[in-house]
Structure 1
Amino acid sequence: MSSAQSLIGSGSVDIVAGRPASVAHLFLDRVAATPNGEAYRYPVPVDEHAADGAPGAEQWRSLTWAQTAARVKAVAAGLMSLGIEAEDRVALSSSTRVEWIIADLGNMCAGAATTTVYPSTNADETAFILSNSGSKALFAENAAQLDKAVSQQEHLPELKTVILFDAPAEVPEPAGLTVLTFAELERLGNEYLAEHADAVDKAVAAIDKEQLATLIYTSGTTGRPKGVRLVHDCWAYEGRAQEASGLLRAEDIQFMWLPLSHVFGKTLISGQIATGHVMALDGRVDRIIHNLPVIRPTLMASAPRIFEKVYNGIAGKARAEGGAKYKIFQWAAKVAREHARISQASRIATGRESVPFALGLQHALADKLVYAKIRAAFGGRMRGSVSGSAALAPEIGYFFAGAGVPILEGYGLTETSAGSCVNRAEDFRIGTVGLPLPGTEVRIAEDGEILLRGPGVMRGYHNLPEKTAEVLEPDGWFHTEDIGELTEDGFLRITDRKKDLFKTSGGKYVAPSEVEGKFKAICPFVSNILVIGNGRNYCTALIALDEAVIMPWAAEHELAGRSYAEVVSSPQVRELIEGFVQRLNTDLQRWQTVKKFTLLPRDLDIEHGELTPSLKIKRPVVEKTYADAVTQMYAGAVEA
């Protein structure tokens, strides 16, 4: 295969090469090494009769590695007692919580394979995933998840058992299904272990590295999702590679709120087991801001949308306070970006960070006035926040780096067990997705497509050999459908999705994510933006605003009491956003400029099928939903 550029991740490759056969092996090794070390933290409601808390209060509890192992083995043995065997699929439909990890590790220690299902997935698609995977059992978070399976039961002949994390007062007994509580499964497992004490150890010892460990279904923008087959070796590799790269460290406290059904969250479990650091779990997105100063993490992974919302919130609050405070914020934001840019350029050129004396003084003053408060909001000791699943606007990255909360952008796909490349805290490049993990190869094809090869690459799509052959070559190279380039010092830069890249009717190529990222960096009111222009003679945009930021602005501009839809359709807001679009266009090539835009009456969301659970925009869905608006923006246009 011809290629323009090629690179293999280096550093501690020998550690990666000596990996165990599975994460189940890795887990038991971790338990043996640090049995009394803290493994997981999780919130629990405080009993309403307790003296130390009022109704609705929460407290955080911990599990040591030994305590976790006892529960994991009980779950594994419980599954065995139900007849679950090696490579049998056991589905998991739940939000992020400690039981998710215990169930997943229980599956793997039984030799079974986990089928991940987002709890937000509707009943029809849940049934498709359960049926297509052939799942024999299902871990369901609550009665609502159970109801999805029950409503589609006629299409799920292989599903025999459902285990509930949160059981109602009366556990339902649907015909043809055995429904257990999580506690009942653990009790069955402990009874099984009383008679077969070494059953789990034998099951783990029998796991082959090429044995199926996980089926994760990609979020299809059209048609049914595809099941990605990730074997035990994929996860064992990810654990060791993340450890060897220094991305995760034994002393870390990681805040995990990402959906574990998504490959980004799932892969970090492997790294956490490899290093043995503490992971605090709470998947409630509305609790992130509250949890950060409580957990005080050193590391957090997130999608770019969260950082954009945090930035917009900070900017919006400063704007609302007005006067000197807003001017101070604007000045501090400019200083942060300039300091981060110059520091990075110095690090690349000389190997150490250096900035002009005057800029250093400004940065120190801005730190006291602004940045210290931002770091405190993140808990005060964040050494890095990993960003993935979508592109991060560089201006957002420069701002947070300058404020002392570096965002370490990474890259990977469901088909590569997520972790392929990542920036390291000690040497990161904003605008890139970092260096390959040890043992992962990156190649740039002649047409600019990024190809990946390594132990983390999937073994194919489930029961779809033709689809597999389209993206996975016999020699192991995986076609990502992303366009990118490698810098001289080996950092990977993503320029766009191959399938999203479009050509105007004038023959000019446009990378929509580049334009969208630039707009997010300058407009603090935007939530989502979709740039359109394929086959057209100019570009347009569908723009959704951030309600939490635009509504306070609206209240101060004669729009108090109006609904969100009324606010975004007002002349005042139209004029406001028009100013940001004009500012955007000054930084674009002529053919990239946005000639017209439409403000959407509501934000894009998962419920309407416009965003994936990892908050990526489903472009075809959005364009179809707002087809009339798109048509109107091109009405009367003369196509070239």
Structure 2
Amino acid sequence: MSLYPNDPQHIEAIVSAVVTEDESLISYGIPLPNTDQPGYSNIYRNKYSPDKLLETIHPSLDTFAATFKHSVAAHGDKLCFGSLDPSTNTYQYETYKQIDNRRKNFAAGMFYVLKNNKFQPSPEVQQKIQNHGKTDEESFIVSLFSHNRKEWCITDVACSTYSILNTALYDTLGPKTSEYILSTTKSPIIVCSGDKLRSLIDLKLTYPTELVNLTTLVSMDDFDSSLIGEGEKAGLAVHAFHQVEIFGKINPVDEVPPTPQTPYSISFTSGTTGANPKGVILSHKNGVASLVFCLTKNNSRYNQDKIGDNPTNYYSFLPLAHIYERMNINFALLRGFKIGFPSTTNPANFLTDVQVIKPHGLLLVPRVLTKIESTLKSQTIHNSEKPVLQYLFKKLVDYKVKEQSKHDGARGESFFYDKLSGLIRKKLGFDNVISIGCGSAPISPDTIKFLKAILSVGISQGYGLTESFAGICSTPSFDSNPGSCGPPSVTCEVRVREIPEMNYHINDEGGPRGELQLRGPQIFSGYYKNAEETAKALDKDGWFSTGDVAKIDELGRIHIIDRVKNFFKLAQGEYISPEKIENIYLSCFPLLSQIFVHGDSLQTYLVAIVGIEPESIKGWIKKNFGDSVNDKDILDYMNNPKVKTVFVKAMNKSVDPLLHGFEKVHNVLFDFEPLKLSDDVITPTMKVKRPIAKRFFSKQLEALYEEGSLIRSEKL
């Protein structure tokens, strides 16, 4: 007889009560006494569970396969995945039971088309396909390549319940990096959206030897039948997704349940150096631990706001190719949420989709929130054309910011102002939204304060990496002093390694500073076929060195302040940490949406490429120069040296207490979005690829130095 009853409703009650409704219980980190070593701080854990790190929600839910099967048992008749039906302009959903049936058929169908393919991969890969589940041999690898949609997730769940390892490609990688991933993993099959078929056939034709193992393409969409013949010329069998499901229904295959140690996915990270990406091996154990993190952060919010047993809507907006959204979607599945996918591949349709799906929670990145901020400010506190509205919203924001800063958890409730906030939320489609999570890049505390105030919605800032299966810390949703990333979660312990050469020490005023190191069940086991990089990242005691420089404050909360390797020397001998400088400017000067700081060993000062938002900058121009400027003229106006000088002085004044004079920028070039994924100057998580960005902007940077310092005569 089991000590742990496995009745779905019993387990569901446990899942719903991972923590109490009091979010403050998990909002602090504490140092463990006597755990410091020379050069290292004490180890910090979450105050909620200082004696142990939590790994699972319930002993029976130890893999993603188990969590999904639980969801089917507990929520089978609830709506699961939905997509837009263009003919009716409404979202059509399938239930958890229907999705469960489809993933069984699709998994069996994949085995059928791989085993009965006239194009054969290498004997090594074919043996893995033939013997899957019969031996302990490592799984073959399924590749996914599409925007967010239900077929992506059906494939992912099919893989996890049959112990098939998968990986993902994405557009910003480019064909050469896609070839590298496919050849390294020896992936025999790609499940893709229809618009990728032609490029994948061309990729196989371009690299026939390197991609000898790639034999099968499965299209999530209907496609021109001529592509079947084109695929055959390249040695590829091309199938439709629904066709593979039919094959599987006729030829069922027994499931192959994974263990916690079974690899779940290889997530390739696009690093900041421009080198080939590293494949992070993530196990089911890592993934389940990430769900514990999500539950401790989210249950209190949903319980507190009394959603209870009502349907909870989720919008899967961030790319599923990245681990952040993989964590989010598995959490949504565990909780039985109703999950809607984007109506198009264009992220500009975000608000259009939100207005239909009406999500209760949103997981976003800073660039989305800053665009919302810019739009709302132009319509409210900067709306000089409607002075009454402008006055009311200024009063609302001032009141809310003041009240919400009094203590953690303070919402600043006001009957009148809450009604006013409700009108804004309804206009955006945020009627149901009770919390917003933000991660992947720094965000200005002022942006968080403004959005929390005007929307009357909690916003959490978090931190995590691919190697930690996304989030390992997150702030309280109503943080009184935004700026940190919150305490370590109940699944992870942290410490910092001091870096004397960068002037970061464990006894620094305000808390220990140094390279952040992580350990716990969320942390990856190594990089795929890359022992050298694995040895650099993981030490013998299991500590993962993140490469991020952090400060841990008196509340045990983590502040990311720099990168370990990102520093260079100016002509006068001063060392510069550009990422630290960029983060401080973005935090202190909300008019900046992007910034790339550059210095040269032959120069004595810094210059920068900066991004601005049209709506926000028009208000600044009006305030400082009294001019009204059209969108098409903004960049010419702002790049005038006289205007730039005023702007740079304001930038530098905002960071006065935090940066030395030699760390401040002397000249800038403006653009609306200078740092684009399509130009390969940033990673998908918005980190600057410095060597590539330096080359890409070489002419602009040279021109800035030729123009000279705008503020050389100023005392910095």
Report the TM-score, using the length of structure 2 for normalisation. 0.77
CA contact (8 A) 1:114 1:213 kept: yes
Which residue in the other structure is 1:49 paired with? none
Which residue in the other structure is 1:25 paired with? 66
Which residue in the other structure is 2:45 paired with? 8
Q: Which whole-Å deviations, capped at 9, do the CAs of 1:582-625 have from their partners, x for residues lacking one? A: 54354543423222212248632111112323333333322221
Q: 2:217 aligns with which of 159, 162, 186?
A: 162
CA contact (8 A) 1:272 1:279 kept: yes
Which residue in the other structure is 2:355 paired with? 293
Q: Which whole-Å deviations, capped at 9, do the CAs of 1:546-577 have from their partners, x for residues lacking one? A: 35665899999475484676455456864674
Alignment CA distance shift 1:133-1:373 (3 Å):
same
Trace 1:310-389 onto structure 2 (pairs within 5 A): 310-318=372-380, 319=382, 321-322=384-385, 324=387, 325-326=389-390, 329-330=393-394, 332-344=396-408, 353=410, 366-369=417-420, 372-374=423-425, 376-389=427-440
Which residue in the other structure is 1:309 paired with? 371
Alignment CA distance shift 1:171-1:584 (3 Å):
farther
Trace 1:99-114 onto structure 2 (pairs within 5 A): 99-114=151-166
Between 481-490 and 462-471, report the one with greater CA deviation. 481-490
**How far apart in 2 are the matches of 1:101 and 1:428?**
37
Alignment CA distance shift 1:620-1:181 (3 Å):
same
Alignment CA distance shift 1:618-1:334 (3 Å):
farther
CA contact (8 A) 1:171 1:179 kept: no
- Determine if the alignment matches structure 1 residue 469 to structure 2 residue 535: yes
Alignment CA distance shift 1:508-1:395 (3 Å):
farther
Q: Which whole-Å deviations, capped at 9, do the CAs of 1:199-223 have from their partners, x for residues lacking one? A: 12xx12xx23222221111112321
- Secondary structure in 2 matching 1:436: coil
**How far apart in 1 are the matches of 2:640 and 2:74?**
62
- Secondary structure in 1 matching 2:239: strand
Q: Which amino acid aligns with 1:338?
A: K
Aligned residues: 607
- The Cα of 1:297 is off from its aligned counterpart by 1.4
Trace 1:62-73 onto structure 2 (pairs within 5 A): 62-73=93-104
**How far apart in 2 are the matches of 1:436 and 1:379?**
29
**How far apart in 2 are the matches of 1:415 and 1:439?**
14
- Determine if the alignment matches structure 1 residue 457 to structure 2 residue 523: yes
Structure 2's unaligned 5+ residue stretches are 1-36, 116-128, 134-138, 303-307, 500-513
Which residue in the other structure is 1:242 paired with? 294
- Secondary structure in 2 matching 1:13: coil
Between 539-548 and 117-126, report the one with greater CA deviation. 539-548
Identity %: 23
Between 599-608 and 104-113, report the one with greater CA deviation. 599-608
- The Cα of 1:235 is off from its aligned counterpart by 1.4
CA contact (8 A) 2:404 2:478 kept: no
**How far apart in 1 are the matches of 2:399 and 2:607?**
32
- The Cα of 1:376 is off from its aligned counterpart by 4.7
Which residue in the other structure is 2:332 paired with? 272
**How far apart in 2 are the matches of 1:331 and 1:587?**
29
Which residue in the other structure is 2:550 paired with? 484
**How far apart in 2 are the matches of 1:90 and 1:606?**
25
**How far apart in 1 are the matches of 2:156 and 2:411?**
46
Between 225-234 and 277-286, report the one with greater CA deviation. 277-286
**How far apart in 1 are the matches of 2:539 and 2:549?**
18
Alignment CA distance shift 1:106-1:335 (3 Å):
same
CA contact (8 A) 2:407 2:479 kept: no
Q: Which amino acid aligns with 2:442?
A: A
- Secondary structure in 2 matching 1:77: helix
CA contact (8 A) 2:220 2:240 kept: yes
Q: Which amino acid aligns with 2:54?
A: V
Which residue in the other structure is 1:150 paired with? 202
- The Cα of 1:106 is off from its aligned counterpart by 1.2
**How far apart in 1 are the matches of 2:397 and 2:653?**
18
Which residue in the other structure is 1:606 paired with? 677
- Determine if the alignment matches structure 1 residue 259 to structure 2 residue 330: no
**How far apart in 2 are the matches of 1:238 and 1:208?**
16
Between 209-218 and 488-497, report the one with greater CA deviation. 488-497
- The Cα of 1:486 is off from its aligned counterpart by 2.4
CA contact (8 A) 1:90 1:136 kept: yes
- Determine if the alignment matches structure 1 residue 545 to structure 2 residue 612: yes
**How far apart in 2 are the matches of 1:561 and 1:34?**
49
Trace 1:192-207 onto structure 2 (pairs within 5 A): 192-193=251-252, 196=253, 199-200=254-255, 203-204=256-257, 207=258
**How far apart in 2 are the matches of 1:545 and 1:188?**
52
- The Cα of 1:512 is off from its aligned counterpart by 4.2
**How far apart in 1 are the matches of 2:55 and 2:641?**
62
**How far apart in 1 are the matches of 2:422 and 2:565?**
39
Q: Which whole-Å deviations, capped at 9, do the CAs of 1:92-136 have from their partners, x for residues lacking one? A: 001011111111111222221111111343222211111112111
Which residue in the other structure is 2:82 paired with? 41
- The Cα of 1:456 is off from its aligned counterpart by 1.6
Structure 1's unaligned 5+ residue stretches are 47-52, 348-352
Alignment CA distance shift 1:218-1:439 (3 Å):
same
**How far apart in 1 are the matches of 2:541 and 2:590?**
46
CA contact (8 A) 1:234 1:457 kept: yes
Which residue in the other structure is 1:418 paired with? 470
**How far apart in 2 are the matches of 1:560 and 1:103?**
47
- The Cα of 1:255 is off from its aligned counterpart by 1.7
Alignment CA distance shift 1:16-1:477 (3 Å):
farther
Between 282-291 and 446-455, report the one with greater CA deviation. 282-291
- Determine if the alignment matches structure 1 residue 528 to structure 2 residue 594: yes
- The Cα of 1:69 is off from its aligned counterpart by 0.2
- Determine if the alignment matches structure 1 residue 228 to structure 2 residue 280: yes
**How far apart in 2 are the matches of 1:551 and 1:425?**
31
Which residue in the other structure is 1:186 paired with? 245
Alignment CA distance shift 1:399-1:31 (3 Å):
same
Q: Which whole-Å deviations, capped at 9, do the CAs of 1:158-198 have from their partners, x for residues lacking one? A: 111100012323251212111001101111111112xx5xx
Alignment CA distance shift 1:337-1:630 (3 Å):
farther
**How far apart in 2 are the matches of 1:364 and 1:577?**
39
Alignment CA distance shift 1:315-1:244 (3 Å):
closer
- Determine if the alignment matches structure 1 residue 61 to structure 2 residue 131: no
Q: Which amino acid aligns with 2:431?
A: G
**How far apart in 2 are the matches of 1:467 and 1:239?**
27
Q: Which amino acid aligns with 1:76?
A: A
- Secondary structure in 2 matching 1:623: helix
CA contact (8 A) 1:316 1:549 kept: yes
**How far apart in 2 are the matches of 1:380 and 1:420?**
29
Q: Which whole-Å deviations, capped at 9, do the CAs of 1:500-529 have from their partners, x for residues lacking one? A: 355656666655455445544676654311
